[in-house]
Amino acid sequence: MSAGALIYCFDTEQVQYHACTNFAISLIKKNLNLPVTVVTNEQTKEHIRGQDQILLIEQKKGNRRFYNGNAVPWYNADRTEAYEHSPYDTTLLLDSDYFVYTNNLLQLLSSDEEFLLYQDAYDLTDRKSFDYQTMSVIPMVWATVIVFKKCEKSKQIFEMVKHIKSNYSYFCNLYRIQFSNYRNDYAFAMALNQLFPEEKRHLIPGSMSMLPADTEVTKIDEHGLTFKFDKYINFIEGHDVHVYNKEIKFNV
């Protein structure tokens, strides 16, 4: 049975996502010892380093997000195809800015559960920036880290996510989601609620550690990262973390 990591990466004029992706790959190799497949486009392909496989696609366009006060392209709509794109029996689907400093995720890959993701996130600046309970009538989940097996249950979930994406405005109104742009986190939350409304087995115990976008990462390498917020400086070592700030100078 094969296992590996899957990352989606598409550069834009504003953000060079390949820099995060290359660093993420190096940590996956170091701490998880897993093969990595990157789904990308022809433009970004030339900058990807350290991967085992490249899958070239033409990314879906049209979605946008705010970046430095401006609406910019947000290429996040292809993760609905991860079930088909993954070459592995068990897949660790990661955001390109999720950095694994431990081997903790290997426990999830060896679990008997067929589909897993986080529901809770912890703001490392202790501001509760990721508390979105009032933004919808169901709890949001995080598509940042997903473990899935090639099985009927996972296939059913991804098919439902595709259906929701195709009818996103309808489902957002149904669940009173106050976020008009397509977002995988809400799409997966709605899909799981549609298919398994009472089931909690798909939730990863604990909270995912997060650094908000306004947090400055002053140093980052294979051992950990140093971040600055307000007048405080902190260091993370031996702890997996999702970093929202993409303007990072990598010391590798």
Model pLDDT for residues 115-164, shown as the tens digit of each residue: 999 999 999 999 888 887 777 899 999 999 999 999 999 999 999 999 99
What residues have CB less than 8 Å from 69, skipping those under 6 apart?
none
Phi/psi zone of residue 52: left (φ > 0), alpha (ψ -120 to 50 degrees), beta? alpha
The ranges of the chain with pLDDT < 50 are none
Could you give the C-alpha distances from 46 to 18, 39, 93, 115, 124, in angstroms and in order? 9, 13, 22, 32, 34
Long-range contacts of 111-114 (CB under 8 A, 24+ apart): 111/147, 113/147, 113/201, 113/202, 114/148, 114/149, 114/151, 114/153, 114/154
Q: What is the pLDDT at residue 251?
A: 62
Domains, the chain:
3-207 (3.90.550.10)
Cα 148 from Cα 4, distance rounded (Å): 11
Q: What is the pLDDT at residue 186?
A: 95
Q: What is the pLDDT at residue 67?
A: 66
Q: What is the pLDDT at residue 252?
A: 55
Q: What is the pLDDT at residue 133?
A: 75
Pairing of strands 216-221, 120-123: unpaired
Q: What is the dihedral of CA 31, 151, 76, 228, to 10 degrees?
A: -30
Cα 86 from Cα 36, distance rounded (Å): 10
Cα 84 from Cα 79, distance rounded (Å): 10
Cα 17 from Cα 247, distance rounded (Å): 9
